[in-house]
């Protein structure tokens, strides 16, 4: 491409889409590169009742669809591709894509998000897609009138357990502690659901089955007792890791790979910003991701005005 964009946005989740919207409304030329599903994790989350204004059709896919359409309507370009790295030796930066394409830009907003962590236990990878899932919205309907296990104790785990009760006959939530880390309102809703059974102080040691999930082996962390639980599916919600490998050595990160950025979303590299779940932050929600994206776009505009002649 001979064109030099004002901003290249990496990631098509709520942070990236908000950045695209704000950039395009400011008459900046903006392009979003997404390697997987538009909407990111939010696009696979059924319940989004805590996003302000999402009273009607409060689902992740619907909200992300509206965000995407809005960004496009203002002129944001959207393409599919995987970013492999950058060349930032000149004032005009180069974003490298796996297909060999290079995109020139004045600024970059990294909004690549985070992805589910693996437990790394026997049977997890072997049975992935064969009863092991990381997305209730994607796979819940496969388990209608069956029994499933949810692993985790945070907001995502408890929210998705509640969602799964719309399909499964029984949902067993396995949590290594004796209380949930999720918001109290969500916890109350879960504990009052007759279809949800909580197995406290326990971890999943193995997932087994002959070509399809048939059960899990559970270990009580206090007694070390190992028990067998028959189940038709296992949904993992044990945390996330940042999608930031392509930016290593370019911007400063913490030990886990989350990008360090200040309150203006500025990273350690001039003209490169980070927004959403990929950056170091205390709360990773759709509302904070969207806010990050807006702030990053506004500051990218200020950077261009200061560093490039019009």
Give the start-to-end residue ranges of the domains of the chain: 4-116+240-307, 132-236
Q: Indicate the pLDDT class of residue 310, thresholds 50, 70 and 90.
A: low
| HSE-up (13 A, CA, CB side) for residue 110 | 36
Question: Mean pLDDT over residues 195-210, rounded?
Answer: 97
87 is catalytic: no
Task: Pick the catalytic residue from 2, 6, 102, 139.
Answer: 139
**Angle in degrees, 0-180, between the axes of helices 14-25 and 286-307, rounded to the nearest 10:** 40
Q: Do the first three CATH levels of 4-116+240-307 and 132-236 match, i.e. the same topology?
A: yes
Tell whether the model's pLDDT for residue 71 goes beyond 70.
yes
pLDDT in tens, 55-64: 676 688 888 9
pLDDT in tens, 127-144: 998 999 988 877 898 999
Task: Pick the catalytic residue from 2, 6, 87, 135.
Answer: 135
261: number of Cβ within 10 Å: 24
pLDDT score at 16: 98
194 is catalytic: no
d(CA 229, CA 310): 66
Bridge partners, residue 77, by sequence: 31
Kindly report each contact of residues 55-64 with a partner whose C-beta sits within 8 Å and lies 24 or more positions away, as own/partner: 60/137, 60/286, 61/137, 63/14, 63/39, 63/286, 64/13, 64/14, 64/17, 64/38, 64/39, 64/40
Task: Pick the catalytic residue from 87, 138, 141, 262.
Answer: 138
Among candidates 236, 226, 179, which has minimal Cα distance to 205? Answer: 226
CATH topology for 132-236? FAD/NAD(P)-binding domain (3.50.50)
pLDDT score at 55: 66
d(CA 31, CA 109): 10
Tell whether the model's pLDDT for residue 86 goes beyond 70.
yes
pLDDT score at 1: 53
**Angle in degrees, 0-180, between the axes of helices 60-73 and 286-307, rounded to the nearest 10:** 20
Tell whether the model's pLDDT for residue 145 goes beyond 90.
yes
Give the class (CATH, top level) of 4-116+240-307. alpha beta
Could you write out the DSSP letters of every residue in 19-79? HHHHHHHTT--EEEEESS-TTGGGGG-S--TTSTT--SS--HHHHHHHHHHHHHHTT-EEE
Cβ-contact 30, 23 below 8 angstroms: yes
SS3 232: coil
pTM beyond 0.75, yes or no: yes
pLDDT score at 95: 97
Question: Mean pLDDT over residues 277-298, rounded?
Answer: 94
232 is catalytic: no
Among candidates 198, 179, 200, which has minimal Cα distance to 190? Answer: 198
Tell whether the model's pLDDT for residue 42 goes beyond 60.
yes
Question: Mean pLDDT over residues 189-213, rounded?
Answer: 97
């Amino acid at each position: 491409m001979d064109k030099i964009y004002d901003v290249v946005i990496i990631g098509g989740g709520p942070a990236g889409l908000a950045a695209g919207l704000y950039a395009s409304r400011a008459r900046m030329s903006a392009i979003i590169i997404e390697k997987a599903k538009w909407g990111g994790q939010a696009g696979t989350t059924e319940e989004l009742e805590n996003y302000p204004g999402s009273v009607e059709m409060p689902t992740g896919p619907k909200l992300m669809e509206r965000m995407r359409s809005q960004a496009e309507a203002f002129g944001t370009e959207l393409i599919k591709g995987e970013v492999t790295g950058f060349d930032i030796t000149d004032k005009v930066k180069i974003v490298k894509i796996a297909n060999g394409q290079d995109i020139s830009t004045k600024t970059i907003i990294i909004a690549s998000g985070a992805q589910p962590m693996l437990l790394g236990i026997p049977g997890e990878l072997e049975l992935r897609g064969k009863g092991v899932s990381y997305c209730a919205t994607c796979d819940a309907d496969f388990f209608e009138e069956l029994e499933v296990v949810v692993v985790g104790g945070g907001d995502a785990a408890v929210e998705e357990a509640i969602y799964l009760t719309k399909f499964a006959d029984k949902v067993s939530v396995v949590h290594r502690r004796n209380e949930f880390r999720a918001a109290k309102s969500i916890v109350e809703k879960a504990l009052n659901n007759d279809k949800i059974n909580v197995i406290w102080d326990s971890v999943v040691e193995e997932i087994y089955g002959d070509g399809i999930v048939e059960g899990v082996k559970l270990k009580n962390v206090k007694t070390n007792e190992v028990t067998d639980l028959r189940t038709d599916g296992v949904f993992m919600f044990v945390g996330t890791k940042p999608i930031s490998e392509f930016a290593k050595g370019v911007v400063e990160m913490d030990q886990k790979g989350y990008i360090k950025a200040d309150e203006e979303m500025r990273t350690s590299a001039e003209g490169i910003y980070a927004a959403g779940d990929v950056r170091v932050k205390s709360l990773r929600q759709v509302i904070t991701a969207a806010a990050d994206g807006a702030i990053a776009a506004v500051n990218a505009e200020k950077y261009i005005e200061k560093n490039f002649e019009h």
